[in-house]
Amino acid sequence: MKKWFTEESYTTEAEKQALQQKYKDKDIIWNYVKLEIAITDYCNLACPNCSQAVPLIKNKQTMSLSHIKNIAKLTDGHFDIIKISGGEPTMHPQFREITESLHSMFPKAKGFEMATNGFKLLEYKDIIHNFDWICLSNYPGLNDKEYNEILKQNFPNVYPEEKIIERDLVDIKILPNIDKQNIFEHCSLKYIYKVTQDRLYPCCMLFAVSVMRTLDRTKVSTKLDEEWKINLFNLDKQTIEQYCRLCPYNINTSSYPVMITELDQGKVREIYPFHKGDIAKANYGIKQKET
Ligand SMILES: C[S@@+](CC[C@H](N)C(=O)[O-])C[C@H]1O[C@@H](n2cnc3c(N)ncnc32)[C@H](O)[C@@H]1O
Ligand code: SF4
Ligand code: SF4
């Protein structure tokens, strides 16, 4: 099985080399681009600060297996990592079939990831090896028992994400970017593209921002059809910027911009500018060497 290992960030060339040394037995995927797929908008929890605004989605939908296959057909090879999310992905009635088909649906992907609140994870313990990385979220007071039960099992691909309310949970009511400029250009979260319902968004928060602030989601997304690449890069940058001003993630616009290229030979590719003594924070994944 292909494996990617971790997510960390670095700022200088020396740090990059130190990380390369630390993970010397791994294949590193530098500056990967991820596609997150919200396979269902339904969830068994209603976290008050859900970053995906799930409790506020009025027209909740669940993707059919054929819709997911079509997403794969149209996008395979354009993204390095495929992340299955939601809503709560394990609530999908065909979660088993989807999980077992991921590798055949996306033969060119370098890694598979999922985020879950864990309520139903143990039901699927025989198939979760299909994911290289499972982010297990703990929302204090909401899923502590299930979270602790899963941790006891020591699954090698389950990575706990304890969310301390004051420290790690973004408050979706506040607007930290409202007076900033060039937010999209500086935001490293846009290395995660997202498909929700039938549309593709150039960042994993734009659908949620549309829901939270009751904005038109079609202005910052494109239909997923044969033309998606061209349409994605033709989206109006000024409109995206207006949505970024209303995003609850606090973006540092004083550092070096996180660049995004135009299409690179038909492949969606983000280039992070690295210079000496740098500046731009990059995300990278590490792919374990296949044995
Ligand atoms: C919206 S959840 C969907 C998947 C699943 N239901 C879950 O909660 O893990 C996707 C990711 O967003 C993170 N998340 C949700 N609300 C957040 C918040 N207010 N601040 C920071 N991260 C948040 C979760 O930990 C998870 O990694
Ligand atoms: S469990 Fe996840 S998707 Fe569900 S409401 Fe909480 S953060 Fe949102
Ligand atoms: S500021 Fe928010 S909406 Fe804008 S690119 Fe960053 S995460 Fe996405």
What are the per-10-residue average pLDDT scores of the chain (291 residues)? 52 74 73 88 97 97 98 90 96 98 95 96 97 93 97 93 89 96 85 93 95 98 90 88 96 70 49 31 34 33
Would the CB of 146 count as within 6 Å of ligand 2? no
Supply the pLDDT for residue 277.
24
Supply the pLDDT for residue 111.
87
Would the CB of 52 count as within 6 Å of ligand 2? yes
Specify which residues 285 forms β-bridges with.
7, 29
Supply the pLDDT for residue 3.
46
Q: Which domains does the chain have, with CATH numbers?
A: 32-169 (3.20.20.70), 172-271 (no CATH)
Residues 147, 159 contacting (CB under 8 angstroms): no
From the CA of 221, how far away is ligand 3's center (Å)?
A: 13
The encoded tokens of residue 102 equal 């991921």
From the CA of 185, how far away is ligand 3's center (Å)?
A: 9
From the CA of 50, how far away is ligand 1's center (Å)?
A: 6
From the CA of 70, how far away is ligand 1's center (Å)?
A: 26
How far apart are the C-alpha atoms of 202 and 204, rounded to whole Å? 7
Supply the pLDDT for residue 252.
85
Supply the pLDDT for residue 258.
62
Supply the pLDDT for residue 7.
58
Supply the pLDDT for residue 280.
27
Supply the pLDDT for residue 267.
53
From the CA of 145, how far away is ligand 1's center (Å)?
A: 18
Supply the pLDDT for residue 281.
30
Residues with CB under 6 A from ligand 1: 43, 49-52, 85-86, 88, 115-117, 135, 137, 161, 163, 168-170
Would the CB of 43 count as within 6 Å of ligand 2? yes
Supply the pLDDT for residue 231.
86
